[in-house]
Every structure is written in C-alpha cells, then in structure tokens.
Amino acid sequence: MDSKIKIKSPSLFQAFIPIIFLIFLLSLNVLFWGDATLAGSNQIALLLAASLATVIAMRLGYKWEKIRNRVVKTIGKSMPSILILLLIGSLSGTWLISGVIPALIYYGLDILQPSIFLFATVVITGLVSLATGSSWSTVATIGVALIGIGHTMGINDALTAGAIISGAYFGDKMSPLSDTTNLAPAMAGTDLYTHIRYMMYTTVPSITITLIIFLIIGFTSDFNINTEEISKVKAAVSETFHISPWLFIVPVFLIVIIVKKVKPIPSMLLGTLAGGVFAVIFQPEIIEQISGVSGNYMKASYIGVMQSMYGDVAIETGNSEINDLFTSGGMSGMLNTIWLILSAMIFGGVMESSKMLKKITLSIMKMVKSTGSLVASTAVSCIFFNATASDQYISIVVPGRMYNKAFKKQGLKPEVLSRTLEDSGTVTSVLIPWNTCGATQAKVLGVSTISYLPYAFFNLISPLMTVFVAYINYKIRRTEIQKKT
C-alpha cells in the first residue's frame, strides 16, 4: 500500500522529456547516417529514450519489475507482426526468383502510351510497389527509368516524380508485403487484412482523384514517347527471366486465399511455397545461378529456393538501372525492421507503464470533441513526428501508442486507428525534405522534395481524406457496446 502512495503522476513536461530526447537523437541519426538509420542507429535511439523514460518513471516511484513486465507484455503483442514480417521476407524472395515480380514489371510497361504516360506511371509504380511491398525499391528502379522516359518526352521532372511517388506509396500502403502496412495494425491492435480492407474506404477515393488529375494533365499535353527506353528494359527482363502469363497464377492464388479469409501467417506461407514451386518450374537458369549447382537440378532447386527464403539474392540483368529491383534479403532482410519494432515496443512499454503516454493523450484529448477531431489530432500527430523525428516508422509507432486507448474509449474499432496511422504517417513521410524517405527519394530521382511535393497528389490527398471521412462519419466502425449506447 505504501508503495502505491509513493507513486507520483508525471507532469506533461516530464512525459514529453523522453519524446523530445528521442526526436533529438533521431535528428542526429539522419544528419550523420542519412538513409542508413534503420541499420541500427534509430533502434539504439529508441532504447536510449526508453532508458531515460525508465529513469524518470523510477524517480516517480514506479518499480523496475512493473516496468519490465509491461515491456515484456508489449513485445508479446507484436509477435504476430514479427512472424508475418519474416514470412514476407521469404515470400518476396521466392516471388523474385520465380519471375512473378519481373513479369509484373514486363507487362506493366506495355500499357505506356503518350497521352496517358503520367496515369500509366502511377499504375505501373503502384503495381510494382503492391507486388514488392517496397516504395523505396520501386522508386529507385522503375521510378528512375520512368523519370528518364518522361524527360525525353519533355515532361517536367517534378511532375513525373510526383506521379512516381503517388503510385509507389499507394502500392506500399496497400501491400500485405509492406512493413508499414504490417506495423500500423500491430500498433492499433487489429489484423493485417482487416486493416487493408478498411483502408480502401479512404485509399480508393484518394488514388481515383489522383489518377483523374494525371489523366487531365496528360490529355491536355502533347507528348511523344520514347519506345527505345522501354524496349531496353523489357529486353533485359525477358533475357534474364522466362516471362509468361502463367506466372500470374501465384499472385492470383494469394489474392483468392486472402479473399477466403485465410489467416495472414498461413496465407503468406502458402504464397511463399507457391512462388518456390513456380521458380523450379519456370526459372531453371535462375535456380542454378543462385545455388551455384549444375548437373543436379534437385539439389540446385532445394538450395536456390531455400536461399531465396532466408538470405540475400541478387539477379543480374543486361540493364544496370534495374538490377537493384531484382534483389531480395529474404527473412534476414527483415531483421532490421524487426529490431526496430522490438525497440519501439520497449519504448512504448516504458512510456505506457509509467502513464506518460496517458498524460500526453489526456492533454490532447481535452481538445477532442468528436470522432472527426480525434482522427484529425492523430493525423496531425503523425505528420508532426514525420517532420520532427524524420522517420515514418516513428510516425506510426508513437502516435499508435499514444492514441490506442483514446480510440477505444471513443468506442472505435482498432482499424479506425490503424487506417489513420497509414493515411497520415506512411504517405506524408516522403513530403518532408529532412525525413529519411523524403531525402532518399529526392536523391534517387534527382528531383528535390519541395519540387515534387505539389505533384504528389495521392500523398497530399490521403491525410485530408481520412479526416474528411471521419468528420462525415462515413463507414466509421464502432464496437458493439458503443453502437448500443
């Protein structure tokens, strides 16, 4: 009883100290490591901020055992997401060596026509990013090629970059292979596919408006497309992989079992195995190249598929500009993201156990009068952390922990929070020049963030759409208890 009496509530200033310290460290990380902060510096920053929060909590009277137990419990909640991330790594590997991802790129390039180039750019980058789950690799490969094609047609590089960014981040946001798409529901407490399906209410209108805008721009301009550049890319892909429409059986199979509501972990595993089988059937040369074994295809198949599932795979093509797209890290490539999640869970666990997050949330909640204002506050917080912490993961993790209980108290289902986190956190990261995403894409495309920002229509519309939908109370899911009251 005495120990309970000695516990003091944190002041708002004390609650913000660890967050301010975290922002300071993350800013230094971006300054010194650039786009390599996920290799470890951000994780250490989170752990150091968690340590500072622990010191403050213990000075307030909290026992170490209570803090530790909350941290362990918080990490436990993230385990399903971690398992899915591991399977995503293996799935991306088998889909690469099977030719599924290369086929999507190959056939996607066929839809390019002069008047719909910008429209097609959004579609192509969206498809590639949806298939790979990575906006970064999409922008750095097919995006660079599209910038070159657009430039030869006399299209403003910033306009083309805006179309590339819009498509890439649409695909990243909606792909079950994306780490942020897995991170957001993990923070909110919902499952992956519920999260993706619910995002469609805001994402479909946002991408539709984006496509209409680019169509209008395309049809009011006169472009002459350079087919030579497209032919070079397609030739490099077809010379390296056996490209066939039959390869689309794999993604269709995964979509079907997802629609049938097969749980994420078994569906990802089935998708991975399907990719491995098609690699053995359609890509014998790739299998032998990866395994280094010739003359024994059974052995080569086992080694090649296994390597793609757990480790690094890099397939060389005749076009150096697209080689980066045909690389995968397998399960091991996901370890830095998993490390980041664990570190974030530790930070969140300490902040939660000491009631610091509660203090911050309650202070913000005093200004919240409706579901719309709650969603708006969350969206602004996500953008704030993108601008101050300079990392899209932090913009999902910290607000996700801050507002989790507030959404529950309002009687809102967790997918409302997870959607808000992605609509506002994932897509706006690339609009901040000093954010890791904004800095990276600007460097890769050779177009400054400020230049392409006005044309990244999808990224600008998404946070506004999620707030608008909340204010008009459209398809806002509530708990059964809330519905009855």
Structure confidence by residue, pLDDT tens digits, 192-242 = 889 999 999 999 999 999 999 999 999 887 766 666 767 787 888 899 999
More confidently predicted of 366 and 95: 95
What is the per-residue pLDDT for 3? 47
Averaged confidence pLDDT in the chain: 85
What is the per-residue pLDDT for 31? 83
d(CA 246, CA 244): 5
| Residue 314: its H or E element | strand 313-314
Torsion, CA 45, CA 49, CA 55, CA 58, rounded to 10: -130
pLDDT exceeds cutoff 50 at 294:
yes
Q: What is the 3-state secondary structure (H, E, C) of 223-284?
A: CCCCHHHHHHHHHHHHHHCCCCHHHHHHHHHHHHHHHCCCCHHHHHHHHHHHHHHHHHHHCH
Checking DSSP bridges between strand 313-314 and strand 327-328, what pairing results, if any? antiparallel
d(CA 197, CA 208): 16
pLDDT exceeds cutoff 80 at 261:
no
What is the per-residue pLDDT for 217? 93
What is the per-residue pLDDT for 259? 61
pLDDT digits (tens, 9 = 90+) for 345-380: 788 788 888 888 778 777 877 777 788 999 999 998
pLDDT-based confidence at 304, cuts 50/70/90?
A: very high
Tell me the percentage of the chain whose pLDDT exceeds 70: 91
d(CA 132, CA 135): 8
More confidently predicted of 471 and 397: 471
Helix, strand and coil content of the chain, in percent to the nearest 5, comes to 80, 0, 20
435: Cβ contacts below 8 Å, ≥ 6 apart: 30, 386, 387, 390, 391, 392, 429
pLDDT exceeds cutoff 90 at 323:
no
Residue whose structure tokens are 């269709």: 252
d(CA 44, CA 41): 5
d(CA 254, CA 130): 13
pLDDT exceeds cutoff 80 at 246:
yes
What is the per-residue pLDDT for 302? 96
pLDDT-based confidence at 13, cuts 50/70/90?
A: very high
pLDDT-based confidence at 258, cuts 50/70/90?
A: low
pLDDT exceeds cutoff 80 at 325:
no
The SS3 call for residue 83 is helix
Nearest to 356 by CA among 348, 366, 365: 348
More confidently predicted of 131 and 161: 161
pLDDT exceeds cutoff 70 at 482:
no
pLDDT digits (tens, 9 = 90+) for 392-441: 887 888 888 888 888 988 899 999 999 999 999 999 989 987 777 887 78
Alpha-carbon Rg for the chain in angstroms: 23
One-character DSSP codes across 155-172? --HHHHHHHHHHHHHHHH
Nearest to 133 by CA among 97, 166, 174, 162: 174
pLDDT exceeds cutoff 60 at 1:
no
The SS3 call for residue 412 is strand
Residue type, 286: I
Nearest to 344 by CA among 133, 74, 79, 89: 74
What is the per-residue pLDDT for 102? 84
Verdict on whether the full-model pTM lies above 0.75: no
pLDDT exceeds cutoff 70 at 163:
yes
Neighbours of 406 (CB within 10 A): 20
| Mean pLDDT calculated for residue range 130-150 | 76
pLDDT digits (tens, 9 = 90+) for 74-89: 788 778 778 877 887 8
